Amino acid sequence: MSYAIIRTGGKQFRVEPGKTVRIPSLVGEAGEQIEFDDVLLGSDGDKIQTGLPTLSGAKVTAEIVKHGRGEKIVVFKMKRRKNYARKQGHRQGFTEVRINDITLG
C-alpha cells in the first residue's frame, strides 16, 4: 500500500491513491488536474523515504472534485455586566481532491 505525506495550505495530509481528501481552498475548476511537489514522506509499500524537509523529484497528482464550505462555527464574545455581546459565524472553505498517482523520486 503506497502513501505519502504532503504539505499544502500550511497543513500536512496523508494521501493514498484513489482516496479523496479535503484540503484548504485551492484555485482551480472541478475536474482540473493539480500536482503537489511538497512531499514530506513517501512509502511504496515496503520502503519508506523521508525528506529533509521534502523529497526531491517526488510529486503527487490529483484531480479537483469540488469546492465547498465546511460546517458553521459560532464565535460568541460576552463581557458580563457591561452590555457587550458579539456573535459571529464562520465557514471555512475547502477543496476536495481525488489522489490519482504518487511518484517518489
Q: Is the pLDDT of residue 105 over 80?
A: no
pTM, to two decimals:
0.85
**Nearest-angstrom CA–CA distance, 67 and 69:** 7
Report how far Cα 16 is from the mean position of its chain's Cα atoms. Answer: 13
Position 45 scores a pLDDT of 85
> In this predicted model, what pLDDT tens digit does every residue of 86-98 receive, in sequence order?
999 999 999 999 9
User: CA angle, 16 as apex, 50 and 45 as ends, to 5°?
Assistant: 55
Residues 4 and 87 sit within 8 Å (Cβ to Cβ): no
What domain range includes position 85? 3-103
Distance from C-alpha of 39 to C-alpha of 51, rounded to nearest angstrom: 8
Helix (H, G, I), strand (E, B) or coil at 85: strand
Mean pLDDT of the chain: 95
Q: How many domains does the chain have?
A: 1
Q: What does the alpha-carbon distance between residue 100 and residue 61 come to, in Å, rounded to a whole number? A: 6
